Amino acid sequence: MIFLATPGMTRPLVCLAMSLLPLQTLAQSPTVPCAQFEQGVARYQARFQSRMLGWSAKALSDVKARTAFYPFSGPDAVTLMSLYPNADHYIMVADQTPDYAQVELPIPAAGRVDGTGFECQMLAGFAQRGYYLTNDLIGKNGPKPRFLTLLHHNIAFAGASIESQQVLHLAADGAVSVRQAGQAGNGVRFALRNRDGRPVTLDYLRIDLSNPGIEKTPGALQAMTRQASEAVLLKSASHLLQKPYFSTLADVLVRQARWITQDETGLDIGPLSAQFELSLYGKFVAAHPLWAANESSRRLAQYYATHTRNEDLPFYLGYEKVGGSILMVGRRKP
């Protein structure tokens, strides 16, 4: 769930005193509780999460998945947990590396979500917009944030609490397990209590999902094949799966997934509609200007224009564009 800052996309006003400090000061700021965190959670849950939960209860009522898989996730745990609230195991995959030494530190106490001034500013922006800016995540707009802290923030926004966190290891056969002495770190596993008190597991795996990235990471292809066998969420994926150099993952998802929920930046409508019965939500007229020349977007606009049933989407997500937000729900054809 990551976005480039583009003309016309304004950052919301942030009610955080520390956000007004110069960037050099922010970089040196100690870890502090984020001001107005509870208000930010309430704002996000009212504008986004409550609507996602209500929509999911109707649109995804037949999805009986124990595992929900979210490639290109960034730190966005809350969207995955809100759209698939009944899953037992959540798997997020992106190319950001957590600080594994930070995993060994005490978990912030309930109600105390820490961050630097800039991380708290990002948190307030997320509460207002529903997504992070790519330039914030990679450190172009200020100090580079700690990715594990952003995961903590998102888990709290989902209404969940962290009971434990451990470093993960990805084996050459695709097995994912808690890291043992001498093994490389490939992600973080969280044992959570979700919003209704039920124990769930959230795994974040750090993998470059391009064809070369999967090829050079032992076990990545096997892990993706295994984890993508039930429910899949594709959101804010920057149309990467429509590019030839992400074809390995695209092929896995088309072949393996039982259910796919995606916006326009996920799989191309051609292979998606060939393998899945689709329900369409929202109105798609044209892609965001960043992707106006994308042939896949043009095919999708034609598909939306000729589809017999389009239903409203009661929340927005992703890039702002003329048609607003969309989601497509795919159920594998017999």
pLDDT per residue over 113-169, tens digit each?
778 888 988 988 989 888 888 889 889 988 999 999 999 999 999 999 999 999 999
For residue 242, name the pLDDT band (cuts at 50, 70, 90). very high
> What average pLDDT score do residues 80-102 get?
96
CB count in 10 Å sphere of residue 261: 26
**How large is the angle between the packed helices 147-157 and 117-129, nearest 10 degrees?**
40
The CA distance from 269 to 27, in Å, is 43
The tally of domains found in the chain comes to: 1
**How large is the angle between the packed helices 117-129 and 37-44, nearest 10 degrees?**
20
Per the structure block, which two tokens stand in for 172? 């050459």
> What average pLDDT score do residues 45-51 get?
94
> What average pLDDT score do residues 57-69 get?
97
261 Cβ neighbours under 8 A, 6+ residues apart: 60, 83, 231, 232, 233, 234, 327, 328, 329, 330
> What average pLDDT score do residues 204-227 get?
97
For residue 76, name the pLDDT band (cuts at 50, 70, 90). very high
CB count in 10 Å sphere of residue 13: 10
Q: Report the share of the chain in percent with pLDDT over 90.
A: 65
For residue 12, name the pLDDT band (cuts at 50, 70, 90). very low
Q: Give the pLDDT of residue 18.
A: 30
Least trusted range by pLDDT, from 107-111, 138-142, 321-325 = 107-111
Per the structure block, which two tokens stand in for 330? 């795919």
Identity of the residue numbered 68: A
Q: Is 208 helix (H, G, I), strand (E, B) or coil?
A: coil
Q: Judging by DSSP bridges, how do beta strands 199-206 and 276-282 pair with one another?
A: unpaired
| Owning domain of residue 157 | 2-332
Q: Give the pLDDT of residue 17.
A: 30
Q: Judging by DSSP bridges, how do beta strands 161-170 and 176-178 pair with one another?
A: antiparallel
